[in-house]
Amino acid sequence: MNGRNVINFDNSAGTYPKPAAVRQAVAGALQKVGGNPGRGGHALSMKAAQQIYEVRRRAAQFFGAEIENTAFAPNCTYALNMVIKGLMQYGGHIIISCYEHNSVSRPVYALTKNSGVKCSIAKIYDDTGQTIAEMEKLIRRDTLCICCTAASNVTGRILPYREIGELARRHGIAFVCDCAQAAGVIPVSIDDGISFICTSGQKGLYGPSGTGLLISSGEFALSTIIEGGTGATSGELVQTPYMPEKLESGTLNTAGLIGLGAGLDFIKSKGIENIRSHEAALCGYFQRELQKLDVHIYDADKERVPIVAFNINGMTSEETAAKLSEGGFALRGGMHCAALAHEALGTSGSGAVRFSPSVFSTRQQVSALIAYIRTIM
Amino acid sequence: MDTTKTIITMSSITYAMKAKDYLNGLGYWCEVERTRKNIGSGCGYSIIIKDDPDLIAPLLERRHIPYKGIYRL
């Protein structure tokens, strides 16, 4: 396939197509916004800085945060690394869930190997009360934070992030929330008891790739893991202490971030609830049709963001994804960079196939996919 | 009419822009510029205001917008 006629049901990895307004914003930025924001007083730099500030203001508003606590990152993985390592680089204990993406589990694993950090992995139960009670038992005197995803990138299962935030707040520890799959389909906010929201810009926020957000409640200071030019206090060797520049060393992805701003406007105009209900309806339809076939669906009975993870019995996930690709459908098979989650699901060997629509997906496209799946079984 | 302006040096360009946003929203004239060489060292940004800095500074403090110094032109 040349990609021209492919139907994208791998929007959890990156929404495509992008809204016209996002494409136009990026093109316009490349054409008209040529300065380096925060790196001078000339007209080009100041114009770029104003545009970046406007995106920052909209992102802050979107997540209920203060403007200065809204930092840009190249992607969600970078944001998570900056927060986890910024909180834990001098040791301590961290709790993560059994549903984490490698962007959480790998930096934590590296810290346990290199920095003496201790880690506990919390199980997620069907009953939220049990999940919180068991998680609370894991909290120790040296626990510094709980880090978990708001929604699994494998099955879409929504974790009780508000209750976990409340638990963390009661114990005076930080709550780091990976919102890569939740942002744009669930109204996550700093007001949900989250100390740090880390998210991708190129998934549910409909921005370009190479954009991400690190949003802080302002309650916990982070050590930096990357230092360099920030455009502030340049005459000193010590990293600027002021947020957000403290966490934004190096030139920002100006065009991409202006595109992200357009993505945020797009979501606002559509409405998060409308986006989620459209995508959830497509997932419901897809799941009901799959259940008529010889297929296993994971976390089928759980509250989820719009994702359906499945395996066709007798086929590996990679085989299924390859056959679907031959038919012009982009779905992701394998491990989804989520070793822990697949272990929890019992799919470490086989992985799973992930279906994830976007606001642009249609029922006709899903019908075509279902018809094609019938032909490959 | 008093055309005296005051420069308030800011901690970062984000705080400078936030201050401008906030003060403009309250109806005060405010612009952001690169900190002038005779005032600051290294890179930095300032806001310029026309109103009494004794009125403006408390407004910034109330909004938790840090600033470094106040210089009358």
Distance from CA of A242 to the nearest CA of B (A): 7
Q: What are phi and psi of A11, to 5 degrees?
A: -70, -15
For the stretch A14-46, pLDDT in tens is 999 999 999 999 999 999 999 999 998 999 999
Q: Could B43 and A39 be called an inter-chain contact, meaning their C-beta atoms sit closer than 8 Å?
A: yes
Which residues of A fall within a CB distance of 8 Å from B47? Answer: none
What pLDDT is recorded for position A14? 97
The distance of B38 to chain A (nearest Cα, Å) reads 15
pLDDT of residue A89: 87
User: In this predicted model, what pLDDT tens digit does every residue of A163-212 receive, in sequence order?
Assistant: 999 999 999 999 999 999 999 999 999 999 999 999 999 999 999 999 99
Strand runs labelled E in A208-273: 212-216
Kindly state the percentage of chain A with pLDDT values over 90.
96
Confidence class for position B41, pLDDT limits 50, 70, 90: low
**What stretches of A192-286 adopt beta strand conformation (E)?**
196-200, 212-216
Average pLDDT over every residue of A232-253: 92
Q: How many angstroms away from the CA of A103 is the closest CA of chain B? A: 28
Among residues A50, A170, A242, the alpha carbon closest in space to that of B10 is found at: A242
Q: Among candidates A77, A43, A36, A61, which has minimal Cα distance to A211? A: A77
The candidate with the shortest Cα–Cα distance to B16, out of A321, A38, A175, is A38
The pLDDT tens digits of the residues spanning A211-225 come to 999 999 999 999 999
Determine the residue of chain A that is closest to B44 in CA distance.
A232
- Among A57, A231, A242, the residue with its CB nearest the CB of B15 is A242
Residue B1 has pLDDT above 60, yes or no: no
Tell me if A20-269 shares its fold with A271-376: no
The pLDDT tens digits for A98-133 are: 999 999 999 999 999 999 999 999 999 999 999 999
pLDDT of residue A4: 60
What is the per-residue pLDDT across A318-351, written as a single tens digit (0 to 9) for each?
Answer: 999 999 999 999 999 999 999 999 999 999 988 9
Q: What is the pTM of this model?
A: 0.96
Q: For residue A192, what pLDDT is reported?
A: 96
* CATH number of the domain enclosing B34: 3.30.70.1940
Is the Cα torsion angle A330, A335, A341, A346 positive or negative in sign? positive
Identify the CATH homologous superfamily for domain A271-376: Aspartate Aminotransferase, domain 1 (3.90.1150.10)
- Alpha-carbon torsion (A58, A62, A68, A71), positive or negative: negative
Q: Which fold has domain A20-269?
A: Aspartate Aminotransferase; domain 2 (3.40.640)
Domain assignments of chain A as residue spans, ordered by start: 20-269, 271-376
Both tokens assigned to A245: 């520049």
Is B43 within 8 Å of A235 when comparing Cβ atoms? yes
Which chain B residue shows the shortest CA-CA distance from A41? B34
DSSP assignment of A177-214 equals: EE-TTTBTTB---GGGT-SEEEEESSSTT---TT-EEE
The parent domain of residue B29 ranges over 6-72
- What's the pLDDT at A3? 55
Give a yes or no: residue B1 inside a domain. no
Task: Quote the number of domains for chain B.
Answer: 1
pLDDT above 90: residue A76: yes
CA-CA-CA-CA dihedral for A297, A324, A200, A271, to nearest 10:
-70
- Tell me whether residues B13 and A37 touch, CB distance under 8 A: yes
Query: How many CB atoms within 10 Å of residue A251?
Result: 13
Query: What is the reported pLDDT for B42?
Result: 65
